[in-house]
Chains A and B, each alone.
Chain A
Amino acid sequence: MTPHAEFVHWFFASGILFVGLCLLSEAIVGREVWQARAWRKYLWPGVAFSMGVLLWPVMAFFTNSAIHMYAHGSWAEVLMLAGGAELGLVHGRLKSQYWRLTWPLAFVVSGTAFIVHEQNPWFFARSAFLHHLLGWTFIGAAVFPLALVWRPRSPVLRACFALTICVVAVQLYSDRDVAPIFGHLSPLAGEPHR
């Protein structure tokens, strides 16, 4: 009764893309303009936190392998943590900017989870390639949210952070496409299916 894995990937890719586009808009128009309406400051942190909550059903229902369960669980936790910390900061409940360290932490944990749960080399198959790419994108791009902790008003850093999230969304959309055109980099990857 569980939905196809690709639908779940696309659902979360849409959420991540939405967060990325909100961040990009905020980077372009500036934080003051973006937060001119009170609800907008809660928008992307709220979506991030909600996606964290919604990843728990993914962890619980997709038990076809233990390592996927752990990866989904770790993403649920770091998204709830980072989204929750951001909500606390914009609401004024949290004061210290160091709470924004939860974002680089989330990036590093997410990237590590992608790389650890993919044990094939880059060019083995398309999903292997994209898992590695997603993992290293997260780990490499963790430098942007990390730098934002000390330079929160830098438009370049904000734009880079936003673009990283958009790129991750695109990679996630591509990770689970099902048309059999490209996916046989290695003969060991098997025959086309579906």
Chain B
Amino acid sequence: MRRFALVALLALAFPASAFAHATLRSTTPHFGKELQQGPKTIELHFDQYVKLFNASAIKVLNTNGKDFAYGAHTQGTNVVADVRALPTGAYTVRWQAVSADSHVVSGVWTFGVRVPAPAINDAYGAGGPTRTEDIVRWIWFLGIALAIGALGVRLIVLRGLPVPRSLDRRIAVAAGIGCIVELQAGVAAFSLRSEDALQLSFGRFLYGDLSPMASTRFGEAFITMTLVFALVLALVYLAWLLDRVVFFVPAFALAVLVVGGLSISGHDGSGDPGSSWKTEIADWVHLTAASLWIGGLATMALLLWRSAPELRRPMFLRFSRMATILIVLVLAAGTYMAIVRLPHLHDLWSTGYGRVLLVKIALVCLALAWGAFHHFLVRPALERADEGFLSHIGRSLIGESMVGVAVLLVAAVLVDSKPPPRPLPQGPSALRIPR
């Protein structure tokens, strides 16, 4: 007891060195570098002393899994391993060290010798996106669509209408749930992607260094979207607390601004073949319009149709007009991106990416047909419709939004898939081979 009291007193009263898990401060060569010459040594610089996990604490693996590193040793707070001469190619460094607090910390990064470094997800041993990752990404999509759809419906469709405060609060709750889902799914997606790159058991993964993953496009998109959606959640909460719809405006603007991160974080995480600023803008337009369309439809069908019967007619008419514009944007941007990513028509049925795209196109056609039914048949009949007819329409809207949810599932699989490689340009440069 006395020992306990003494330790407690000393711990709180005196300054002391805090031992935590070792943090990797820098590496040589750096993450993702393309080198003109193979490095003679691999160096890991930590913020504290570490011990070697075993003799092969650092592995330098080529694309066939051959290890080029000699035994590692410590130098102060560095772990160093000499490396055999590296031929041209892509390399993966996998390392493990024992932290001062006895935890085994691990990490992975890639570099290239006279070739670009592969994406961290293409590190030797990584398996690529799994079905679990597809599901998580789908939930991620759903969260974002719900947040953007709920806010968009309130700010665009219901603008100027006498919206009861209780309805505004419900919209805020729906948008807030969307943000929470986005935050949770984002963390899960980042963890799954990192776990695949690190190739560690769950126990070791908990102490795995995720910083190389954080510096990829996927990581940057995850960080940006997490920060922005945390802010969006706070703004939506303030709108709910203070009954001020004005907070929805910055929340909607911020959510729309970063929605493109979903596609930036997809595919191989380092840009698709043929990617340029034009495809990124097209992707952003595609995602924003689709989120607003599907999320808005779900919000209207599941939340507003029953809660605000007096607003059904104007809401339906206005949403129908907005959906027409959104569908044009979705189709235009989607067609442009399909042409860029699938250079040949036969890629549609001869590649995995193309086949998933075909399923998506089929589902979008179904949603479009359903939407056309609402636009061309239901809308003119709405003026003379009775309550029974309107409740049937509510169920029909739920059906259309469920098709939209299915489209998002296929979109999640598509974003995790890799488009086929683009053909090399004809001419002398095509004959050049890496040295």
Which residues of B are found within 8 Å of A192, using beta-carbon distances? 17
Task: Tell me if A93 is interfacial: C-beta within 8 Å of chain B.
Answer: yes
Which residues of A are found within 8 Å of B209, using beta-carbon distances? 63-65
Which residues of A are found within 8 Å of B312, using beta-carbon distances? none
**Contact of A177 with B16 at beta-carbon distance under 8 Å, contacts A57-B227, A65-B207, A76-B230 already known:** yes
In the complex, the chain B residue whose C-beta lies closest to that of A42 is B241
Task: Tell me if A156 is interfacial: C-beta within 8 Å of chain B.
Answer: no
Q: Which residues of chain B from 1 to 53 have any CB-CB distance to chain A below 8 Å in the complex? A: 7-8, 10-12, 14-21, 23-24, 47-49
Which residues of B are found within 8 Å of A185, using beta-carbon distances? 7
* Contact, CB under 8 Å: B231 / A59: no
Interface band, chain B? 35 or more
Which residues of A are found within 8 Å of B230, using beta-carbon distances? 53, 56, 76
CA gap between A120 and B226 in the complex, in Å: 31
Task: Tell me if A183 is interfacial: C-beta within 8 Å of chain B.
Answer: yes
Which residues of B are found within 8 Å of A66, using beta-carbon distances? 191, 194, 205-208, 210
Task: Tell me if A179 is interfacial: C-beta within 8 Å of chain B.
Answer: yes
Q: Which residues of chain B from 262 to 304 have any CB-CB distance to chain A below 8 Å in the complex? A: none
* Contact, CB under 8 Å: B18 / A175: yes
Binds B, one of A33-41, A84-92, A106-114: A84-92
Task: Tell me if A29 is interfacial: C-beta within 8 Å of chain B.
Answer: no
* Contact, CB under 8 Å: B11 / A125: no
Interface band, chain A? 35 or more
* Contact, CB under 8 Å: A65 / B16: no
Task: Tell me if B101 is interfacial: C-beta within 8 Å of chain A.
Answer: yes
Of the candidates B18, B21, B102, which one forms a contact with A178 in the assembled complex, judged by CB atoms under 8 Å apart? B18
* Contact, CB under 8 Å: A189 / B19: yes
Which residues of B are found within 8 Å of A177, using beta-carbon distances? 15-18
Which residues of A are found within 8 Å of B258, using beta-carbon distances? none
8 A-B Cβ contacts within 8 A? A64-B21, A67-B207, A125-B100, A125-B101, A127-B101, A130-B11, A189-B101, A190-B49
Given contacts A64-B210, A123-B7, 16 further A-B contacts (CB under 8 A): A5-B20, A49-B237, A53-B230, A65-B207, A80-B233, A84-B237, A91-B242, A125-B19, A126-B11, A126-B18, A127-B20, A129-B11, A178-B18, A184-B17, A190-B48, A193-B49
